[in-house]
Amino acid sequence: MHSEEKLMSKKKPAFAVNDELNKYLAEHRRNIKIPIFYEDLLRFQGAVVVYDKNDEDTLWVRTYYSEFEREEIDVSLKKVYMILHSDGNEETIQYLNVDAIDFCTFGNSKPFRIKIRNILNDNYTYFYIKKTDASRVYGLEIEHILSPYNLNFLVYKNTLIEEHITGIPGDTFIKDFLPKCTELQKSQIAKEFVKFNERSMIRLLGDMRSYNYVIVPTHDFDHVVYKIRAIDFDQQCFEGKFKVYYPQFFKENYPMVKLVGAKLQESSIAQYKIEERSIIAKRILSSEDRINQLITCMKNDVISTDENVVQLKEEIYNFTNDMEFRKSENMGEILESALEFVKRNYEDMNIEDINII
């Protein structure tokens, strides 16, 4: 694992969702009419900075609207919540309150974060409203199919609704929680980072710096198990440098890389990589029709530059010596080759195992 060089492009453009992808989303009930658009939320009159419990700027601002507009926006946001999390039935809207509409100017997506509270019990949750970007839509859908986690999101015209992914932001965890972990917990976190690193690389999800993923602690009998989940998907299949798709090469993740080196032997790292590849291969095989349908959409789409495509397919070819990568003409074909490579290796491995038996 190496230190970071200049990896990322200055800014990735947003790509429109084309008709074929829209049809795919409609078939899988992702494309549903919603009562509010991203642009509607931009009409706020002002905003105040949101600070965390340590009085540090969170890079979010809390917006406020005119009284007339706020009333209309609140009703629409409650309806969106019901569509996202329920069957859209509006009978329970009376029990919901929009506690906050926050706006973030940091990053590509400039999202709005909506805090919805149930007034009967004060339970609350968040969801996000962003501009639609085909890269992010592909990233979300691939995560839903190929990762251990299901994702809930909606697309309508130029507006994307995403559910909130709970967990401790990676940068916060590395700074405040990791030093307090036991040695056994650190070993388990190192294992999970190896798997996360492999999963991100295989499905070509870039820019997994520490603030673009979360750590999810789960209590299991007498110990805590830690998992790592991506939360930002707009760098799906865009960059030309293969290293961008490895979390290990970002300087923000150096403490995790250092942990892997300290806690895991090379043989264990290799074992965990094989485990992750096998799990992904099983998911590809169990959802083959859906992933093939999505890849077909991606192959007929433009979600990167010609230069990036040429660079990436050459760098992956140098890594794998698989000629299928060199034959690829766009990012969809590169990803298809990557998934086929993983699936083929898994099937070959199983055949060898059977022969041994």
Alpha carbons 52 and 83: distance in angstroms, whole number: 30
Q: What six digits make up the tokens of 348?
A: 């070959």
Residues 183, 49 within the same domain:
no
Q: Report yes or no on 140 lying in a domain.
A: yes
**What residue type is 55 in one-letter code?**
D
- The pLDDT assigned to 354 comes to 35
pLDDT digits (tens, 9 = 90+) for 201-213: 999 999 999 999 9
- What number of other Cβ atoms are within 10 A of residue 75's Cβ? 16
Domain boundary among 136, 163, 190: 163
Residues 155, 234 within the same domain:
no
How does the average pLDDT of the chain come out, rounded? 92
pLDDT above 50 for 19: yes
Residues 302, 174 within the same domain:
yes
Residues 33, 73 within the same domain:
yes
- The pLDDT assigned to 192 comes to 98
Q: Report yes or no on 94 lying in a domain.
A: yes
Q: Report yes or no on 5 lying in a domain.
A: no
pLDDT above 50 for 357: no
Residues 319, 262 within the same domain:
yes
Give 41-91 as a DSSP string.
Answer: HTT-SEEEEEE-TTS-EEEEEEEE--HHHHHHHHHHHHHHHHHHHSS--GG
Residues 216, 333 within the same domain:
yes
pLDDT digits (tens, 9 = 90+) for 133-148: 999 999 999 999 999 8
pTM: 0.92
Residues 211, 287 within the same domain:
yes
223 falls in which pLDDT band (50, 70, 90)?
Answer: confident
Residues 193, 325 within the same domain:
yes
pLDDT digits (tens, 9 = 90+) for 35-75: 999 999 999 999 999 998 888 888 899 999 998 899 999 99
Domain boundary among 100, 135, 163: 163
Residues 67, 154 within the same domain:
yes
pLDDT above 70 for 194: yes
Alpha carbons 294 and 336: distance in angstroms, whole number: 10
Task: Show the domain range for 238.
Answer: 168-356
Residues 174, 248 within the same domain:
yes
- The pLDDT assigned to 5 comes to 54
Longest dimension (CA), the chain: 73
Closest CA to 82 of 136, 23, 125, 138: 125
Q: Report yes or no on 13 lying in a domain.
A: no
pLDDT above 90 for 351: no
Give 248-266 as a DSSP string.
Answer: GGSGGGHHHHHHHHHH--H
- The pLDDT assigned to 175 comes to 96
Residues 135, 160: contact at Cβ < 8 Å?
no
pLDDT digits (tens, 9 = 90+) for 259-279: 999 999 999 999 999 999 999
- The pLDDT assigned to 89 comes to 76
pLDDT above 60 for 1: no
Q: Report yes or no on 4 lying in a domain.
A: no
pLDDT above 70 for 353: no
Q: Total structural domains in the chain?
A: 2
Alpha carbons 151 and 208: distance in angstroms, whole number: 18
Residues 338, 202: contact at Cβ < 8 Å?
yes
pLDDT digits (tens, 9 = 90+) for 75-117: 999 999 999 988 777 788 999 999 999 999 876 788 999 999 9
- The pLDDT assigned to 92 comes to 84
**What residue type is 163 in one-letter code?**
E
Domain boundary among 163, 192, 216: 163
- The pLDDT assigned to 352 comes to 46
* CATH number, domain containing residue 207: 1.10.1070
Q: Report yes or no on 11 lying in a domain.
A: no
Residues 131, 275 within the same domain:
no
Q: Report yes or no on 118 lying in a domain.
A: yes
- The pLDDT assigned to 155 comes to 96
Residues 290, 253 within the same domain:
yes
Alpha carbons 292 and 211: distance in angstroms, whole number: 31
Q: Report yes or no on 143 lying in a domain.
A: yes
Helical H segments across the chain, by residue range: 19-27, 38-41, 67-85, 134-146, 170-172, 183-202, 254-263, 266-286, 288-299, 306-320, 323-327, 331-356
